[in-house]
Amino acid sequence: MSKDRKKMGMKAKQNLYQFILGFFLLLLAGTMVLPFVYVLMVSFTDGSVYESGKFILWPEKWSTEAYELILSGKGFLNSLKSTLLITGIGTPMNVVFNAGLGYMLSKPIPGRKFFNKMVMFTMLFGAGLIPNFINIRNLGLMDSIFASILPGVCGAWTVMVMRSFFEGIPSELEEAAKIDGCGQLRIFATIVLPLSKAMLATFTLFAAVSYWNTYFSAIMYMTTTEKMPLQVYVQKIVLSTNISDVVDLTTELANTVPQEVMRMAAVIVVTLPIIIVYPFLQKHFATGMMVGAVKG
């Protein structure tokens, strides 16, 4: 009987611990979700309701006027075009270059140790802001979207993780392909990459989010307002005292929508595409994060 009581007591303590832990994690999740819900609800709130000064988690009167204003403005369309170009060009380049270099370093090529050390060196040491600026200027990339694309095309950490994953692929598969007459490039394209879908999906998501959130490089290297990406556009809306100038609208509707509501709508418009894409890659995310974790 005493053993049974001890077991029941331990089980009760475990259940209490799980309940407290779950409650704490629920509160922690609430602190992350609640601000986003508030921003979303305010963006759909009618101007007259918002100006009443009430805390809004469910609008008394819904309105899409803020979204209509932002989506119809030239400033948003130009920024969206730049961001789509940066993301659409930069993401596949990032994945291809990182995967290619990682695969090369996973093979017994001449000078492999030297190249591995060079890649690791770039992870630990950077040139700095001024040398990077001079480099971009000397390459003739100033005021070009490629100034925001090329510096992030290849990353040491990504290369190291991909290299570790490729080293774990059975060499017998590649040897069998070589017997069938496949070259190294064909082996990489038809055998290695299809076996790396989870890893590639994860790093594709990382690259897409990084390029979609391009901000600092655009401020540093771009001078034409029309070429600025969405993050710079939202920053101007958030900090501007007269949003109508930033949104580039002169309609009467622009004066009826509170500026704070337009700020919230701008934030939602910029973050929504990533939120939509993420669920489709989520099933590969956990697997991809674990690849290369055993080998270093």
Share of the chain above pLDDT 70, in %: 85
Amino acid (one-letter) located at 119: V
Residues 90, 217: contact at Cβ < 8 Å? no
Maximum CA pair distance of the chain? 82
Can you tell me which residue has the tokens 């049974």? 4
Amino acid (one-letter) located at 58: W
The CA distance from 13 to 94, in Å, is 49
**Quick one: pLDDT at residue 50?**
77
Can you tell me which residue has the tokens 């403005």? 73
Can you tell me which residue has the tokens 């609008």? 59
**Quick one: pLDDT at residue 171?**
83
The CA distance from 202 to 283, in Å, is 10
**Tens of pLDDT along 243-296?**
666 666 555 556 677 778 888 888 888 888 888 877 776 666 656 555 544 444
**Quick one: pLDDT at residue 123?**
84
How is residue 227 written in tokens?
Answer: 């070429």
- Is residue 104 within a helix (H) or strand (E), and if so which, with residue range? helix 74-105
- Where do the domains of the chain lie? 2-43, 65-290
The CA distance from 92 to 112, in Å, is 25
Q: Compute CA distances 191 → 49, 164, 169, 178, whole Å.
A: 59, 17, 10, 11
Residue 62 has phi, psi (to 5 degrees) of -85, 150
**Tens of pLDDT along 28-68?**
988 888 888 888 888 888 877 777 766 667 878 888 888 88
Instruction: Judge whether residue 234 has pLDDT over 60.
Output: yes
**Tens of pLDDT along 156-170?**
889 998 998 888 888
**DSSP output for 181-198:** T--HHHHIIIIITGGGHH
Q: On the CB side of 250, how many CA atoms lie within 13 Å of its CA?
A: 0
Residues in the chain, how many?
296
Instruction: Judge whether residue 177 has pLDDT over 90.
Output: no
**pLDDT-derived band at 127, boundaries 50, 70, 90:** confident
**Tens of pLDDT along 59-114?**
788 888 888 888 877 778 888 899 999 999 999 999 999 999 999 998 888 888 89
**Residue 1: CB atoms within 10 Å:** 5
The CA distance from 33 to 20, in Å, is 20
Across residues 172-187, what is the average pLDDT?
Answer: 84
The CA distance from 118 to 130, in Å, is 22
Measured in Å, how far apart are the chain's first and last C-alpha atoms? 51
Q: Residue 82, Cα to own-chain centre: how many angstroms? A: 16
The CA distance from 170 to 187, in Å, is 13
Q: Compute CA distances 41 → 50, 53, 182, 235, 259, whole Å.
A: 10, 14, 57, 20, 15
Q: Indicate the CATH number for domain 65-290.
A: 1.10.3720.10
